[in-house]
């Protein structure tokens, strides 16, 4: 039944991608923007850090996404006693062959939920984030490639900091987006309540796309045109974050590249073969917000990375693109 459902899908990305968003929406109520951004990250070959309070649907979101695109899904619950080998894999002695054999860890999955990543030790965090950056795991001098597509959604609780190990800026920089699901509106929560007792759960979903589709989207999104003036627009904003008197640490070159690639994926998701300024403006808070560190005086004064980015965007002239034929 599942295979037939997938085979009957359209191959046109302009219809398949909205179908994925709609399919996830059968479980996750009113969070279309978050689902869309997760798809953008997946198409960009990036990863997402989801910071939110417990119980707002983070696990259901990633499970629903995995079911919708027919990808293998694994969850890693990060705890203080978790070891790097519990994530990446370990060597097991095979009594029959008399040799040690590598047994891959749960990171070897197409979609991985790294739950409460800030509750494990920096050593284990580093093992996960190295896999994110390299797309592979090295063990005993042998490199093992991770599956494709490979997408990690890590979560952390912004409220309970006791016994946690906050991610340093260098590791935060490895996530393409930092997102928040947020509480539902009263109308949405009523729908959530009804669905929670009688509605669809992630395991009920049928796939509307396949891993091969994601690989094709990734390749095609890289061909989306970005005008030189938009590259210059990104560079202006990046340098303003570094030169602003209230900013201690500005956006890195990795962040600038991530924004450009994400804007290509967003344009592709909307069925365009070119990027427009609105793509970049929409993505900037999600790509740049967690890559900036404000001076303590600015934070005490109530300024946030989001409000400062809004100020920078307001003061930066938006380029006018030449007419496309």
pLDDT in tens, 4-15: 345 445 456 667
- Whole-model pTM? 0.89
pLDDT in tens, 102-129: 889 999 999 999 999 988 888 898 888 8
CA neighbor of 273 nearest in space, from 13, 1, 6, 34: 13
Which residues sit opposite 137 in a β-bridge? 144
CATH number of 2-215: 3.40.50.300
Assigned token pair, 248: 């201690």
For residues 112 and 311, give the distance between their C-alpha atoms in angstroms, rounded to a whole number. 35
* Residue 181 CB burial class (10 angstroms; 0-12, 13-18, ≥19): buried
Higher pLDDT, 134 or 21: 21
Q: How far apart are the first and last CA of the chain?
A: 44
Please report, rounded to a whole number, the percentage of residues in the chain having pLDDT higher than 90.
Answer: 57
CA neighbor of 17 nearest in space, from 217, 178, 199, 190: 217
For residues 34 and 15, give the distance between their C-alpha atoms in angstroms, rounded to a whole number. 19
- Name the segment(s) of the chain with CATH classification 1.10.8.80: 222-315
Please report, rounded to a whole number, the percentage of residues in the chain having pLDDT higher than 70.
Answer: 92
What superfamily in CATH does domain 222-315 come from? Magnesium chelatase subunit I, C-Terminal domain (1.10.8.80)
- Name the segment(s) of the chain with CATH classification 3.40.50.300: 2-215
């Amino acid at each position: 039944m599942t295979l037939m459902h997938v085979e009957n899908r359209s191959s046109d990305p302009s219809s398949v991608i909205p179908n994925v968003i709609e399919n996830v929406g059968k479980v996750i109520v009113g969070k279309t923007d978050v689902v869309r951004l997760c798809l953008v990250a997946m198409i960009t070959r990036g990863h997402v850090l989801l910071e939110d309070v417990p119980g707002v649907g983070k696990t259901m979101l990633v499970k629903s996404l995995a079911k919708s695109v027919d990808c293998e899904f694994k969850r890693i619950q990060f705890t203080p006693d978790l070891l790097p080998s519990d994530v990446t894999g370990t060597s097991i002695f095979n009594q029959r062959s008399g040799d040690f054999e590598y047994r891959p860890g749960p990171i070897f999955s197409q979609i991985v939920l790294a739950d409460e990543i800030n509750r494990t030790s920096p050593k284990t965090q580093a093992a996960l984030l190295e896999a994110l950056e390299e797309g592979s795991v090295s063990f005993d001098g042998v490199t093992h490639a991770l599956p494709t597509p490979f997408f990690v959604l890590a979560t952390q609780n912004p409220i309970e900091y006791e016994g946690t190990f906050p991610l340093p800026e260098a590791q935060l920089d490895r996530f393409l987006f930092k997102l928040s699901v947020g509480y539902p509106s009263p109308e949405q929560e009523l729908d959530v309540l009804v669905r929670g007792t009688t509605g669809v759960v992630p395991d009920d979903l049928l796939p509307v796309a396949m891993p091969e589709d994601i690989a094709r989207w990734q390749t095609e999104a890289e061909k989306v045109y970005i005008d030189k003036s938009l590259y210059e627009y990104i560079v202006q904003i990046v340098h303003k974050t570094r030169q602003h008197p209230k900013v201690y640490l500005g956006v890195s070159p990795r962040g600038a590249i991530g924004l450009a690639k994400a804007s290509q994926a967003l344009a592709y998701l909307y069925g365009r073969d070119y990027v427009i300024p609105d793509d970049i403006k929409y993505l900037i808070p999600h790509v740049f917000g967690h890559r900036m560190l404000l001076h303590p005086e600015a934070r005490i004064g109530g300024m946030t990375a989001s409000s400062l980015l809004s100020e920078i965007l307001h003061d930066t002239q938006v380029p006018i693109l030449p007419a496309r034929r």
